[in-house]
Amino acid sequence: MVARALFRAIIMGPPGSGKGTMSQRIVQTFGLQHLSSGELLRTNLANGTEFGLQAKSFIDEGKLVPDDMITRIILHELKKINQYNWLLDGFPRTVPQAEELHKVYQPDTVINLNVPFETIKERLTSRWIHPSSGRVYNTDFNPPKVTGIDDLTGEPLIQRDDDKPETVILRLQAYEELTQPVLEYYKNKGILEVFSGIETNKIWPHVHAFLGKKLPTLR
């Protein structure tokens, strides 16, 4: 029996570009394992792990956590899903992270969601959360019935510290300075695929068609 080559994909895009939604659609449609660095960090924060505690101040201030710290935990997690096709989301965010990843895994494709910064700024600062259930509202297109109040429980909504306007600007600056060069890194390797647009629903059919060609046996 000939072993089937594993498919390794990365999804990139500024915070608020719809990366999370797009990743969900990709993993559900194409059966990939999903590893999100942001989710991994939030789980560690919620569980109060040592790694979560070390990362907290960086995240709250809209800064990237140090390369060696995040790279170590991501490579550790990837090892666990080594025998599956996977989609990596939110990592790498800097060229040193990309270089370290490349030493171990060479991605087949890097999907970049190219969404205008203005759209992203508006989107991120309008996101409100009901902390105990995780319900997400958006004051523009999915507002709660009463401003600042959860529809089901009547409890107050909060804004994630890193969704506050001043932090969002810092996150976008970090993206521009540190993550744009990663796109260049993958472009030079000939594996960067750019998908431009404003709405996830409009970008999705293009991503779907592209991955359908790459993974014909799955869909």
Cβ closest to ligand AMP, residue 14 vs residue 195: 14
DSSP states along 156-206 = BPB--GGGSHHHHHHHHHHIIIIIHHHHHHHHHTT-EEEEE-S-HHHHHHH
Measured from the CB atom, is 65 or 110 closer to ligand AMP?
65
219 tagged catalytic? no
Q: Crossing angle of helices 180-188/95-104, nearest 10°?
A: 40
Q: What is the nearest approach in angstroms of ligand AMP to the Cβ of residue 88?
A: 9
Q: Which is nearer to ligand AMP, 26 or 59 (CB)?
A: 59
The one catalytic residue among 127, 164, 202, 213:
127
Choose between 106 and 173: whose C-beta lies nearer to ligand AMP.
173
Helix, strand, coil share (%) of the chain residues, nearest 5? 50, 15, 35
127 catalytic per annotation: yes
Report the distance separating Cα 93 and Cα 183, nearest Å. Answer: 9
Judge whether 8 counts as a catalytic residue.
no
Q: Give DSSP secondary structure letters for 113-137.
A: EE--HHHHHHHHHTEEEETTTTEEE
Q: Which of 25, 160, 164, 187 is catalytic?
A: 160
Told to judge if 171 belongs to the known catalytic residues of this protein, a careful annotator would answer: yes
For residues 24 and 204, give the distance between their C-alpha atoms in angstroms, rounded to a whole number. Answer: 11
- Please indicate whether residue 164 is annotated as part of the active site: no
Q: How far is the CB of 119 from ligand AMP (least distance, A)?
A: 16
Task: State the minimum distance, in angstroms, from the CB of residue 175 to ligand AMP.
Answer: 9
Smallest gap from Cβ 16 to ligand AMP, in A, equals 8
Q: Which residues are catalytic?
A: 19, 93, 127, 160, 171
